[in-house]
Structure 1
Amino acid sequence: MAGAATTPCALIVMGVSGSGKSTIGERLAERLGWRFEDGDRFHPASNVAKMSAGHALTDEDRWPWLQAIADEIDRVCAAGERAVIACSALKRAYREVLVHGRDDVRIVYLDGTQDLIAARLAARKWHFMPPALLVSQFKTLEKPAPNENPVTVSIDATVETIVDDIVRQLGLGPGSRTRP
Protein backbone atom coordinates (compact mmCIF):
# COMPACT_ATOMS: atom_id res chain seq x y z
CA MET A 1 0.00 0.00 0.00
CA ALA A 2 1.00 3.57 -0.56
CA GLY A 3 2.29 5.83 2.18
CA ALA A 4 0.40 8.86 3.46
CA ALA A 5 2.45 11.23 1.28
CA THR A 6 1.82 9.23 -1.90
CA THR A 7 -0.69 10.43 -4.46
CA PRO A 8 -3.84 8.34 -4.03
CA CYS A 9 -4.98 6.03 -6.80
CA ALA A 10 -8.63 6.88 -6.13
CA LEU A 11 -10.62 9.75 -4.67
CA ILE A 12 -14.19 9.12 -3.52
CA VAL A 13 -16.18 12.35 -3.72
CA MET A 14 -19.01 11.90 -1.22
CA GLY A 15 -22.04 13.76 0.09
CA VAL A 16 -25.79 13.81 -0.06
CA SER A 17 -27.68 14.07 -3.34
CA GLY A 18 -27.41 17.60 -4.69
CA SER A 19 -24.10 18.36 -2.97
CA GLY A 20 -22.31 18.41 -6.33
CA LYS A 21 -20.56 15.03 -6.36
CA SER A 22 -20.75 14.56 -10.13
CA THR A 23 -19.98 18.17 -11.03
CA ILE A 24 -17.08 18.48 -8.59
CA GLY A 25 -15.84 14.96 -9.33
CA GLU A 26 -15.78 15.56 -13.09
CA ARG A 27 -13.98 18.89 -12.74
CA LEU A 28 -11.51 17.45 -10.22
CA ALA A 29 -10.75 14.50 -12.51
CA GLU A 30 -10.30 16.86 -15.44
CA ARG A 31 -7.93 19.05 -13.41
CA LEU A 32 -5.85 16.06 -12.29
CA GLY A 33 -5.93 14.25 -15.64
CA TRP A 34 -7.63 11.26 -13.99
CA ARG A 35 -10.64 9.19 -15.07
CA PHE A 36 -14.06 10.08 -13.64
CA GLU A 37 -16.71 7.52 -12.68
CA ASP A 38 -20.17 8.37 -11.38
CA GLY A 39 -21.09 5.87 -8.67
CA ASP A 40 -24.71 6.04 -9.81
CA ARG A 41 -23.80 3.93 -12.84
CA PHE A 42 -22.97 1.03 -10.51
CA HIS A 43 -26.53 0.93 -9.08
CA PRO A 44 -28.57 -2.07 -10.15
CA ALA A 45 -31.76 -1.17 -12.04
CA SER A 46 -33.84 -2.17 -9.02
CA ASN A 47 -32.18 0.57 -6.92
CA VAL A 48 -32.79 3.23 -9.57
CA ALA A 49 -36.44 2.16 -9.87
CA LYS A 50 -36.87 2.25 -6.10
CA MET A 51 -35.37 5.77 -5.79
CA SER A 52 -37.35 7.01 -8.81
CA ALA A 53 -40.53 5.85 -7.09
CA GLY A 54 -39.60 8.01 -4.08
CA HIS A 55 -38.44 5.21 -1.79
CA ALA A 56 -35.19 5.38 0.17
CA LEU A 57 -32.71 2.56 -0.29
CA THR A 58 -32.05 0.18 2.58
CA ASP A 59 -28.63 -1.05 3.57
CA GLU A 60 -29.49 -4.36 1.91
CA ASP A 61 -30.08 -2.44 -1.34
CA ARG A 62 -26.76 -0.63 -1.00
CA TRP A 63 -24.29 -3.46 -0.22
CA PRO A 64 -24.04 -4.87 -3.79
CA TRP A 65 -23.77 -1.32 -5.18
CA LEU A 66 -20.98 -0.40 -2.76
CA GLN A 67 -19.13 -3.66 -3.43
CA ALA A 68 -19.29 -3.01 -7.19
CA ILE A 69 -17.67 0.41 -6.64
CA ALA A 70 -15.05 -1.10 -4.28
CA ASP A 71 -14.23 -3.72 -6.93
CA GLU A 72 -13.76 -0.93 -9.50
CA ILE A 73 -11.46 0.96 -7.12
CA ASP A 74 -9.39 -2.19 -6.61
CA ARG A 75 -9.22 -2.74 -10.38
CA VAL A 76 -8.16 0.87 -11.04
CA CYS A 77 -5.46 0.80 -8.37
CA ALA A 78 -4.14 -2.63 -9.39
CA ALA A 79 -3.88 -1.45 -13.01
CA GLY A 80 -1.79 1.56 -11.97
CA GLU A 81 -4.55 3.96 -12.98
CA ARG A 82 -6.16 6.81 -11.08
CA ALA A 83 -9.83 7.71 -10.76
CA VAL A 84 -12.22 10.11 -9.10
CA ILE A 85 -15.46 8.38 -8.16
CA ALA A 86 -18.64 10.20 -7.12
CA CYS A 87 -20.53 8.18 -4.50
CA SER A 88 -22.84 9.28 -1.69
CA ALA A 89 -21.06 7.03 0.89
CA LEU A 90 -23.27 8.49 3.60
CA LYS A 91 -22.40 6.06 6.42
CA ARG A 92 -19.01 5.15 7.80
CA ALA A 93 -19.83 1.46 7.17
CA TYR A 94 -20.33 2.28 3.48
CA ARG A 95 -16.99 4.08 3.31
CA GLU A 96 -15.32 1.10 5.01
CA VAL A 97 -16.58 -1.14 2.19
CA LEU A 98 -15.22 1.30 -0.39
CA VAL A 99 -11.84 1.99 1.22
CA HIS A 100 -11.42 -1.33 3.12
CA GLY A 101 -8.25 -0.27 4.87
CA ARG A 102 -6.43 1.11 1.83
CA ASP A 103 -4.30 4.18 2.46
CA ASP A 104 -4.10 4.97 -1.26
CA VAL A 105 -7.84 5.83 -1.44
CA ARG A 106 -9.06 9.14 -0.02
CA ILE A 107 -12.51 10.43 0.85
CA VAL A 108 -13.48 13.96 -0.26
CA TYR A 109 -16.53 15.14 1.69
CA LEU A 110 -18.70 17.86 0.12
CA ASP A 111 -20.20 19.64 3.12
CA GLY A 112 -23.28 21.83 2.77
CA THR A 113 -26.43 22.80 4.63
CA GLN A 114 -29.74 21.08 4.02
CA ASP A 115 -31.29 24.39 2.89
CA LEU A 116 -28.58 25.04 0.29
CA ILE A 117 -28.78 21.51 -1.09
CA ALA A 118 -32.60 21.50 -1.11
CA ALA A 119 -32.55 24.65 -3.25
CA ARG A 120 -30.15 22.99 -5.68
CA LEU A 121 -32.26 19.84 -5.91
CA ALA A 122 -35.41 21.87 -6.52
CA ALA A 123 -33.73 23.36 -9.58
CA ARG A 124 -32.74 19.94 -11.02
CA LYS A 125 -35.21 18.20 -13.31
CA TRP A 126 -32.99 15.50 -14.82
CA HIS A 127 -31.87 13.44 -11.82
CA PHE A 128 -33.66 10.32 -10.52
CA MET A 129 -33.36 11.41 -6.85
CA PRO A 130 -36.55 13.24 -5.79
CA PRO A 131 -35.89 16.24 -3.50
CA ALA A 132 -38.17 14.72 -0.85
CA LEU A 133 -35.54 12.02 -0.21
CA LEU A 134 -33.02 14.68 0.88
CA VAL A 135 -34.37 14.55 4.44
CA SER A 136 -33.66 10.81 4.62
CA GLN A 137 -30.16 11.39 3.23
CA PHE A 138 -29.32 13.94 5.93
CA LYS A 139 -30.79 11.59 8.54
CA THR A 140 -28.52 8.80 7.26
CA LEU A 141 -25.41 10.99 6.86
CA GLU A 142 -22.50 10.23 9.18
CA LYS A 143 -19.91 12.89 8.49
CA PRO A 144 -16.41 11.44 8.05
CA ALA A 145 -14.43 11.26 11.28
CA PRO A 146 -10.86 12.59 11.53
CA ASN A 147 -9.48 9.03 11.63
CA GLU A 148 -10.91 8.49 8.13
CA ASN A 149 -8.44 11.14 6.91
CA PRO A 150 -11.07 12.95 4.86
CA VAL A 151 -10.69 16.08 2.79
CA THR A 152 -13.67 18.24 3.81
CA VAL A 153 -14.72 21.17 1.65
CA SER A 154 -17.62 23.60 1.86
CA ILE A 155 -19.88 23.55 -1.17
CA ASP A 156 -20.95 27.15 -0.61
CA ALA A 157 -18.48 28.35 -3.26
CA THR A 158 -17.89 28.16 -7.01
CA VAL A 159 -16.96 24.85 -8.59
CA GLU A 160 -13.45 26.14 -9.34
CA THR A 161 -12.95 27.33 -5.75
CA ILE A 162 -14.10 23.95 -4.39
CA VAL A 163 -11.77 22.05 -6.74
CA ASP A 164 -8.89 24.39 -5.86
CA ASP A 165 -9.52 23.67 -2.16
CA ILE A 166 -9.53 19.90 -2.72
CA VAL A 167 -6.32 19.97 -4.77
CA ARG A 168 -4.65 22.19 -2.15
CA GLN A 169 -5.69 19.96 0.77
CA LEU A 170 -4.48 16.85 -1.05
CA GLY A 171 -1.19 18.49 -1.99
CA LEU A 172 -1.77 17.55 -5.62
CA GLY A 173 -0.38 19.69 -8.38
CA PRO A 174 0.65 19.37 -11.99
CA GLY A 175 2.81 16.31 -11.24
CA SER A 176 -0.26 14.32 -10.14
CA ARG A 177 -1.14 13.65 -13.78
CA THR A 178 1.55 10.99 -14.01
CA ARG A 179 0.66 7.39 -13.28
CA PRO A 180 1.87 5.78 -10.04
Structure 2
Amino acid sequence: MEQLYLVLLTSRESNILQDLDTLKLLTIVVPEVVKNTISEETVLDSAFDLVFAFDEVITFGYREAVTLSQIKTYTEMDSHEERLAQMIEQSKMNEAKEVAKKKQLELARQRALLAKEERLRSRMMPSVGDGSPTGFGSDAVVGPYGDDRSPPAAAPSDRFQGHAEAFRGR
Protein backbone atom coordinates (compact mmCIF):
# COMPACT_ATOMS: atom_id res chain seq x y z
CA MET A 1 0.00 0.00 0.00
CA GLU A 2 3.06 2.23 0.26
CA GLN A 3 3.20 2.66 -3.51
CA LEU A 4 -0.40 3.79 -3.93
CA TYR A 5 -2.49 6.59 -2.49
CA LEU A 6 -5.96 6.32 -1.04
CA VAL A 7 -7.84 9.60 -1.25
CA LEU A 8 -10.95 10.40 0.76
CA LEU A 9 -12.84 13.53 -0.26
CA THR A 10 -14.91 15.22 2.42
CA SER A 11 -16.76 18.48 2.92
CA ARG A 12 -15.64 21.37 5.12
CA GLU A 13 -18.36 20.65 7.61
CA SER A 14 -17.27 17.04 8.22
CA ASN A 15 -15.53 15.98 11.40
CA ILE A 16 -11.83 15.50 10.65
CA LEU A 17 -11.46 12.83 13.34
CA GLN A 18 -14.27 10.74 11.87
CA ASP A 19 -12.76 11.24 8.42
CA LEU A 20 -9.41 9.94 9.65
CA ASP A 21 -11.12 6.91 11.19
CA THR A 22 -12.89 6.29 7.89
CA LEU A 23 -9.62 6.59 6.00
CA LYS A 24 -7.93 4.14 8.39
CA LEU A 25 -10.77 1.67 7.94
CA LEU A 26 -10.52 1.99 4.16
CA THR A 27 -6.75 1.37 4.29
CA ILE A 28 -7.45 -1.80 6.26
CA VAL A 29 -10.19 -2.88 3.83
CA VAL A 30 -8.00 -2.62 0.72
CA PRO A 31 -5.47 -5.36 1.70
CA GLU A 32 -8.29 -7.59 2.91
CA VAL A 33 -10.13 -7.35 -0.40
CA VAL A 34 -7.11 -7.51 -2.71
CA LYS A 35 -5.47 -10.42 -0.76
CA ASN A 36 -2.29 -10.29 -2.86
CA THR A 37 0.55 -7.86 -3.00
CA ILE A 38 -0.99 -4.48 -3.55
CA SER A 39 -0.13 -2.99 -6.91
CA GLU A 40 -2.00 -1.10 -9.57
CA GLU A 41 -2.81 -4.31 -11.44
CA THR A 42 -4.18 -6.17 -8.42
CA VAL A 43 -6.25 -3.16 -7.38
CA LEU A 44 -7.66 -2.93 -10.91
CA ASP A 45 -8.44 -6.65 -10.89
CA SER A 46 -10.30 -6.26 -7.58
CA ALA A 47 -11.95 -2.94 -8.44
CA PHE A 48 -15.55 -4.12 -8.17
CA ASP A 49 -14.94 -5.92 -4.89
CA LEU A 50 -13.28 -2.77 -3.53
CA VAL A 51 -16.23 -0.64 -4.60
CA PHE A 52 -18.63 -3.00 -2.84
CA ALA A 53 -16.51 -2.91 0.33
CA PHE A 54 -16.19 0.90 0.21
CA ASP A 55 -19.95 1.10 -0.25
CA GLU A 56 -20.40 -0.78 3.01
CA VAL A 57 -18.13 1.71 4.79
CA ILE A 58 -19.57 4.88 3.26
CA THR A 59 -23.25 5.11 2.35
CA PHE A 60 -24.75 8.25 0.81
CA GLY A 61 -21.67 10.23 1.87
CA TYR A 62 -21.87 9.20 5.51
CA ARG A 63 -19.65 6.75 7.34
CA GLU A 64 -21.41 3.65 8.57
CA ALA A 65 -20.57 2.27 11.99
CA VAL A 66 -19.18 -1.03 10.72
CA THR A 67 -16.18 -3.13 11.56
CA LEU A 68 -13.90 -5.07 9.26
CA SER A 69 -15.58 -8.36 10.12
CA GLN A 70 -19.00 -6.89 9.29
CA ILE A 71 -17.70 -5.64 5.95
CA LYS A 72 -16.36 -9.13 5.17
CA THR A 73 -19.71 -10.63 6.12
CA TYR A 74 -21.67 -8.17 3.98
CA THR A 75 -19.47 -8.62 0.93
CA GLU A 76 -19.57 -12.41 1.33
CA MET A 77 -23.35 -12.22 1.48
CA ASP A 78 -23.27 -10.30 -1.77
CA SER A 79 -21.03 -12.99 -3.19
CA HIS A 80 -23.39 -15.68 -1.90
CA GLU A 81 -26.33 -13.92 -3.53
CA GLU A 82 -24.31 -13.62 -6.72
CA ARG A 83 -23.45 -17.32 -6.64
CA LEU A 84 -27.10 -18.14 -6.03
CA ALA A 85 -28.10 -16.00 -9.01
CA GLN A 86 -25.42 -17.69 -11.12
CA MET A 87 -26.70 -21.12 -10.08
CA ILE A 88 -30.25 -20.15 -11.05
CA GLU A 89 -29.00 -18.82 -14.39
CA GLN A 90 -27.00 -22.01 -14.98
CA SER A 91 -30.03 -24.18 -14.23
CA LYS A 92 -32.07 -22.14 -16.71
CA MET A 93 -29.34 -22.60 -19.32
CA ASN A 94 -29.21 -26.36 -18.69
CA GLU A 95 -32.99 -26.59 -18.95
CA ALA A 96 -32.95 -24.65 -22.22
CA LYS A 97 -30.25 -26.98 -23.57
CA GLU A 98 -32.35 -30.02 -22.65
CA VAL A 99 -35.41 -28.55 -24.36
CA ALA A 100 -33.32 -27.76 -27.44
CA LYS A 101 -31.89 -31.29 -27.49
CA LYS A 102 -35.38 -32.81 -27.23
CA LYS A 103 -36.61 -30.56 -30.03
CA GLN A 104 -33.59 -31.51 -32.14
CA LEU A 105 -34.30 -35.22 -31.63
CA GLU A 106 -37.97 -34.69 -32.46
CA LEU A 107 -37.07 -32.85 -35.67
CA ALA A 108 -34.60 -35.59 -36.61
CA ARG A 109 -37.31 -38.22 -36.10
CA GLN A 110 -39.71 -36.21 -38.24
CA ARG A 111 -37.12 -35.86 -40.99
CA ALA A 112 -36.39 -39.60 -40.90
CA LEU A 113 -40.11 -40.38 -41.03
CA LEU A 114 -40.63 -38.02 -43.98
CA ALA A 115 -37.65 -39.52 -45.80
CA LYS A 116 -39.01 -43.02 -45.19
CA GLU A 117 -42.45 -42.01 -46.48
CA GLU A 118 -40.84 -40.38 -49.52
CA ARG A 119 -38.89 -43.55 -50.27
CA LEU A 120 -42.06 -45.62 -49.98
CA ARG A 121 -43.92 -43.23 -52.29
CA SER A 122 -41.14 -43.29 -54.84
CA ARG A 123 -41.18 -47.10 -54.86
CA MET A 124 -44.94 -47.27 -55.20
CA MET A 125 -45.41 -44.52 -57.76
CA PRO A 126 -42.43 -43.13 -59.65
CA SER A 127 -42.67 -39.45 -60.37
CA VAL A 128 -41.97 -37.77 -63.68
CA GLY A 129 -38.43 -36.47 -64.05
CA ASP A 130 -37.16 -37.71 -60.72
CA GLY A 131 -34.07 -39.26 -62.25
CA SER A 132 -35.22 -42.82 -61.71
CA PRO A 133 -34.84 -45.26 -64.60
CA THR A 134 -38.61 -45.46 -64.89
CA GLY A 135 -39.15 -41.72 -65.23
CA PHE A 136 -40.16 -39.77 -68.33
CA GLY A 137 -37.67 -39.90 -71.14
CA SER A 138 -35.89 -43.03 -70.05
CA ASP A 139 -35.49 -46.06 -72.23
CA ALA A 140 -36.36 -48.53 -69.49
CA VAL A 141 -39.97 -49.57 -69.19
CA VAL A 142 -41.29 -51.14 -66.02
CA GLY A 143 -43.59 -54.05 -66.58
CA PRO A 144 -46.67 -54.91 -64.61
CA TYR A 145 -44.55 -56.89 -62.12
CA GLY A 146 -42.24 -53.97 -61.27
CA ASP A 147 -39.24 -55.26 -63.21
CA ASP A 148 -37.49 -54.19 -66.42
CA ARG A 149 -39.16 -56.79 -68.62
CA SER A 150 -41.32 -55.05 -71.15
CA PRO A 151 -43.30 -56.00 -74.21
CA PRO A 152 -41.55 -55.44 -77.51
CA ALA A 153 -41.82 -51.84 -78.59
CA ALA A 154 -43.70 -51.00 -81.73
CA ALA A 155 -41.80 -49.58 -84.64
CA PRO A 156 -41.61 -45.79 -84.59
CA SER A 157 -43.54 -45.49 -87.84
CA ASP A 158 -46.43 -47.56 -86.39
CA ARG A 159 -46.59 -45.60 -83.14
CA PHE A 160 -47.14 -42.20 -84.72
CA GLN A 161 -49.27 -43.31 -87.65
CA GLY A 162 -52.57 -42.37 -86.00
CA HIS A 163 -51.35 -38.93 -85.02
CA ALA A 164 -50.09 -38.14 -88.49
CA GLU A 165 -53.47 -39.01 -90.02
CA ALA A 166 -55.24 -36.79 -87.51
CA PHE A 167 -53.16 -33.79 -88.57
CA ARG A 168 -53.65 -34.49 -92.28
CA GLY A 169 -57.40 -34.49 -91.84
CA ARG A 170 -57.46 -30.87 -90.84
TM bucket, shorter chain: under 0.3
User: Scaled by the length of structure 2, what TM-score is found?
Assistant: 0.23
Q: Which structure dedicates a bigger proportion of its chain to helix?
A: 2
Q: Which structure dedicates a bigger proportion of its chain to strand?
A: 1
User: Scaled by the length of structure 1, what TM-score is found?
Assistant: 0.22
Which one has more relative contact order, counting CA pairs under 8 Å at least 6 apart? 1
